[in-house]
């Protein structure tokens, strides 16, 4: 089999049609260049250059081989580049889990930054509730999740990506909508409150329960998705607590009210396996917005 140096030698001679000049271009002297070309011809099994003491020209086989040689050398360049880019996380695949809520304000900008800064990274999106993301991460189906606590911090590492206040959402014609001031826990006494699944949306479930702990609302509905909650509110089935970014969902017929007291922060975490090695993941982690 021939070597890449022999290919470069041949290409140089084929382009210069002169051994001396080709040798100069290759920063070597003419004799070893002649030998390399001879070796290449022996390896290929065909005469590639017709040469006498006066001129050098390509044979037909040489013409055909020159094309292939150029392609090969080009591929050599790009092969290394590709591997380096993958190594540095600038190319590859990121399987990203996200909750419907995280998509409202966080996912869009993140995807935009990714496609700008790492255009060769393919992002595969999986919409899942947080437990589903954790499951996916542990099974190796996901590289990164955007979800809510809690999660096992022995195996999973995480970082807060966004933090926003909790707010109340009430029907547009509801008495709470008319108060015009931040709502307290007591305001919810006797209200029909729509809350969250303790298993599939545990985080919002606990936030809701904690905020309303001192009042005595009636909690009947327990759903998983923020959007479902708001649609139920719009349908007059009760009131609910949602993250502030839900205002941007654009559901008609509901009013959003601030909550009084120390801000109940809703945190969104980026979550990944502590032992993950994916270069793309490492690279993306450096791009995540920092909150505290």
Q: What is the binding site for its own copies (CB under 8 A)? A: 1-5, 43-48, 50, 59-65, 68-69, 71-72, 75-76, 78-80, 82-84, 86-88, 91-92, 277-280
- 90 in Cβ contact with 145 (< 8 Å): no
**Nearest to its own copies of 83, 260 (CB atom):** 83
234 binds DNA (CB under 7 A): no
> Residues 2-21 vs DNA: string with x where CB under 7 A?
-x-x------------xxx-
- 93 makes contact with DNA (CB under 7 A): no
| C-beta of 58 vs 249, nearer to DNA | 58
> What's the count of helices (H) and strands (E) in the chain, helices before strands?
10, 11
Q: How far is the CB of 45 from DNA (least distance, A)?
A: 17
Q: How far is the CB of 4 from DNA (least distance, A)?
A: 11
Nearer to DNA, 38 or 282 (CB): 38
Indicate the residue among 35 and 84 with the shorter CB distance to DNA.
35
Residues 28/29/35/39 CA torsion (nearest 10 deg): 20
Stretch that binds DNA, among 22-30, 109-117, 174-182, 283-291 (CB under 7 A): 22-30
**Dist. CA 128–CA 276, nearest whole Å:** 20
Assigned token pair, 74: 């080009």
216 by DSSP, 3-state: which? coil
Contacts of 174 (CB under 8 A, 6+ apart): 239, 255
Q: Could you tell me how many residues of this chain bind DNA (CB under 7 A)?
A: 23
Residue 278, contacted partner among DNA, its own copies, none, CB below 5-8 A by kind? its own copies
- Using alpha carbons only, give the angle 130, 203, 257 rounded to the nearest 5 degrees: 120
Closer CB to DNA, 34 or 185, in the complex: 34
The rounded distance, in Å, linking the Cα atoms of 105 and 231 is 19
- The binder of 152, among its own copies, DNA, none, by C-beta within 5 to 8 A per type, is none
Query: From the list its own copies, DNA, none, which binds 76 (C-beta under 5 to 8 Å, kind-based)?
Result: its own copies
Which residues between 25 and 84 bind DNA (CB under 7 A)? 27-32, 34-39, 51-56
Minimum CB distance to DNA smaller for 12 or for 219: 12
Cα(24)–Cα(177) distance, rounded to whole angstroms?
Answer: 84
Query: What is the three-class DSSP state of 147?
Result: strand
Residue whose CB is less far from its own copies, 81 or 214: 81
Decide which of DNA, its own copies, none touches 71; Cβ closer than 5 to 8 Å per partner kind: its own copies
User: What is the 3-class SS of 81-136, one letter each residue?
Assistant: HHHHHHHCCCEEEEEEEECCCHHHHHHHHHHHHHHHHCCEEEEEEEECCHHHHHHH
Query: Nearer to its own copies by C-beta: 84 or 210?
Result: 84
Give the 3-state secondary structure of residue 162.
strand
Confirm if 125 and 182 have CB atoms less than 8 A apart: no
- Determine the 3-state secondary structure of 219 from DSSP: strand
Which residues contact DNA (rule: CB under 7 A)?
3, 5, 18-20, 27-32, 34-39, 51-56
């Amino acid at each position: 089999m021939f070597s890449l140096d022999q290919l470069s030698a041949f290409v140089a001679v084929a382009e210069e049609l002169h051994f001396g000049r080709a040798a100069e271009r290759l920063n070597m002297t003419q004799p070893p260049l002649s030998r390399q070309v001879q070796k290449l011809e022996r390896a290929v099994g065909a005469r590639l250059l017709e040469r006498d003491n006066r001129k050098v020209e390509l044979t037909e086989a040489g013409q055909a081989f020159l094309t292939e040689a150029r392609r090969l050398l080009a591929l050599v360049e790009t092969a290394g580049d590709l591997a380096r880019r993958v190594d540095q996380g600038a190319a590859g695949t990121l399987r990203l889990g996200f909750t419907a809520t995280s998509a409202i304000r966080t996912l869009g900008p993140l995807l935009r930054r990714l496609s700008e800064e790492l255009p060769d990274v393919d992002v595969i999106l999986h919409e899942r509730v947080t437990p589903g993301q954790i499951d996916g991460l542990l099974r190796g189906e996901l590289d990164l999740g955007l979800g809510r606590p809690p999660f096992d911090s022995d195996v999973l590492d995480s970082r807060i990506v966004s933090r926003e206040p909790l707010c109340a959402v009430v029907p547009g014609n509801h008495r709470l909508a008319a108060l015009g001031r931040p709502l307290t826990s007591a305001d919810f006494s006797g209200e029909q409150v729509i809350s969250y699944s303790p298993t599939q949306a545990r985080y919002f479930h606990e936030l809701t329960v904690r905020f309303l702990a001192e009042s005595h609302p009636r909690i009947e509905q327990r759903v998983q998705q923020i959007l479902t909650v708001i649609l139920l509110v719009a349908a007059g089935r009760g009131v609910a607590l949602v993250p502030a970014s839900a205002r941007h969902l654009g559901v008609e017929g509901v009013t959003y009210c601030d909550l009084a007291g120390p801000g109940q922060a809703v945190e969104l975490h980026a979550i990944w396996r502590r032992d993950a090695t994916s270069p793309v993941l490492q690279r993306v982690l450096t791009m995540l917005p920092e909150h505290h």
